[in-house]
Amino acid sequence: MALLHNRISNKELKEKLMKETFQRTTISFYRYFTVQNPQKYRDDLYKTLKDLQVFGRIYIATEGINAQISVPTHHLEAFKELIENTEGLQNLRLNIAVYDGKGLNDEVQQGKSFWVLKIKVRDKIVADGIIDPSFSMERKGKYVNAAEMNQLLEDPQTIVIDMRNHYEFEVGHFTNAVEIPSDTFREQLPMAAEMMQAHKDKNIIMYCTGGIRCEKASAYMLHEGFNNVFHLEGGIINYAKQIKEQSLTAKFIGKNFVFDDRLGERVTEDVIANCHQCGKPCDHHTNCKNDGCHLLFIQCKECADAFDGCCSIDCKETIHLPLERQEAFRKGIDKGRNIFNKSQARLRPKLNELINKSEFDVK
């Protein structure tokens, strides 16, 4: 019987990945469709993708599939054929990542964004908090492509809603987009409907990174009684691809945050965010190098050098301790979703205090 789970350590897997002599292509895709037996579907898919040396994370639920993966480029056509012959995935749109040549980590930028294949069965492919049994994904908003999106954005009767988290919105978004001020998608759905109650007669466009959240959000808005609901097909990833191919004006400014180790794809040269430590214009996300913290935050190169890639003086000092002491500090710590965002504004005074100390001064 084929082994259906990885048994090799992450350290070995990463070392093996970096020794690969071939290129990889980073791809994301999703589809809402009924999966009768998610566990069997998961196991069958694991066996076939493992044979093609596919890495990444995939979620399977009765409502469909959500995937972010990397495929050896020389296996790309075989992968596409496999997908075409997989139940429920015919004519699937694949969002293929763009390498801009400007990443701080060229290995990651060139497709080495995952080092293991993980396929998990979940209750839903997007945690939405919806418990109403009458809600259905069969009725959803109208797809719009890049050209249609641009056209609708010129209409004063259009409201565009960003269904992503603050840390994503912070580095890039559509002009005049409305941010839903919450950290979780399940909280954003009812909040978006409430915020738009006075605009039910307007065009409501939902968008997100790759389309999966805004597609469900559009179905939710229709369920809540809205009528003129649209969602951006393929999300920002597909929009960026289309405006480049069709030489369209970009209405999205800045960088699109992505959920692999690249942490971003640049759409325009605009830098609309700031370093969370010194305040300089910067949109480079990173994780604090202290494994007991691992905070996701924005850090410029100067601050990365000054703090050794950490978010604070405390974390900088911690990473230089003996490993056994670091492990002792980490014991029992649940980092959870440790993200520098609006709801964690309590972190900002701490960072500002550290920045103002005499130990650190970036001009």
Rounded mean pLDDT of 328-354? 50
- 264 pLDDT band, cuts 50/70/90, is confident
Structure tokens at 43: 């196991």
The predicted-structure confidence for 42-67, as pLDDT tens digits, reads as follows: 999 999 999 999 999 999 999 999 99
Q: What Rg, from alpha-carbon coordinates, does the chain have?
A: 21
Beta strands in the chain (DSSP E): 24-32, 55-61, 64-72, 95-96, 117-121, 142-144, 158-162, 172-174, 178-179, 203-207, 229-232, 252-256, 265-266, 285-287, 296-298
Statement: residue 308 has pLDDT above 70: yes
Q: Where are the domains of the chain?
A: 22-121, 142-239, 285-356
Rounded mean pLDDT of 70-83? 95
Statement: residue 113 has pLDDT above 50: yes
Within 8 A by CB and 6+ apart from 269, the residues are none
Neighbours of 176 (CB within 10 A): 10
Q: What CATH code is assigned to 22-121?
A: 3.30.70.100
**What pLDDT does 325 receive?**
75
Superfamily of domain 142-239: Rhodanese-like domain (3.40.250.10)
CA nearest to 267, candidates 235, 232, 285, 243 = 243
Measured distance CA(204)–CA(191) in Å, rounded: 14
Rounded mean pLDDT of 333-341? 54
Beta strands in 221-289 (DSSP E): 229-232, 252-256, 265-266, 285-287
- 330 pLDDT band, cuts 50/70/90, is low
Q: Give me the count of residues in the chain.
A: 363
Give the catalytic positions in this structure: 208
